[in-house]
Amino acid sequence: MKTMEITVFLENTPGALAEPAKILGENGINIFGLCESTESREFNYGLLRLIVDDPRRAYQLLSQQGFVVIASEVIAVEVPNVPGMLAQITGVL
């Protein structure tokens, strides 16, 4: 299914992930999946990519709190927790 992925730029510091997670949790937004990566040691930032149950509201809340946020359309697939399933699904894609 098509959905929106929210990307949040974060400082690469201990505890930086806690603030956006707290904001979303306090506002009843459920996080289905996430990926966090350090993009640049030189500039000391990372990217938090989120799939949530209300991406438009998450975008709005995080933006209002001063985070730099990008929304992108992505394809989401629920995958059974079975060995070899990722290979099977990516073979179809």
Distances (CA, A) of 6 to 52, 65, 92, 93: 8, 15, 26, 23
| CATH number of this structure's domain 2-92 | 3.30.2130.10
| SS3 at position 63 | helix
| Residues 15-50: tens digit of each pLDDT | 899 999 999 999 999 999 999 887 666 667 889 999
* Rounded Cα–Cα distance for residues 26 and 57 (Å): 13
Confidence of residue 92 (pLDDT cuts 50, 70, 90): confident
Q: How high is the mean pLDDT of the chain?
A: 91
Residue 1's pLDDT is what? 83
CA angle, 61 as apex, 67 and 20 as ends, to 5°?
A: 55
